[in-house]
Amino acid sequence: MEEQAEMVGRAFVDHYYHLFDTERASLSSLYQPTSMLSFEGQKIFGVDDITSKLNQLPFDQCKHLISTIDSQPSSPAGGIVVFVSGSLQLPGEEHHLRFSQMFHLIPTPQGSFFLQNDIFRLNYG
């Protein structure tokens, strides 16, 4: 089960950041009405408000550079917790912004996963 969590976690992270960096509006397909996002301490609920927040960030283009991915099974029902650390490169910026992000993936009846919880923080210092 742990090996599967690692595989799913890595595949999800690759997919999520690819969408974020190239087609951010498509991230809405990963969330559900019950989903929650904590973005720099701001709590946002539901797919519409989460999508709105992500699409209104003050930059259109970026590139996520992933340093680490840690995944664990979260319940007998098949949930997975994924913790990511890395850096964010913005156009025209010399320095990268370091970040940490946690995803709680919940299995769907169709055999895929959706994002129940998403917590994002920039790492300062």
Q: Sketch the domain layout of the chain as residue ranges.
A: 1-122
pLDDT at 120 over 80: yes
pLDDT digits (tens, 9 = 90+) for 19-48: 999 999 999 999 999 999 999 999 999 999
Given this model, what pLDDT does residue 64 score?
96
Phi and psi angles of residue 61, each rounded to the nearest 5 degrees, phi first: -120, 145
Sign of CA dihedral 81, 85, 86, 88: positive
pLDDT at 60 over 90: no
**The domain defined by 1-122 carries CATH number 3.10.450.50:** yes
Q: Is 71 exposed, middle or buried (0-12, 13-18, 19+ CB in 10 A)?
A: buried
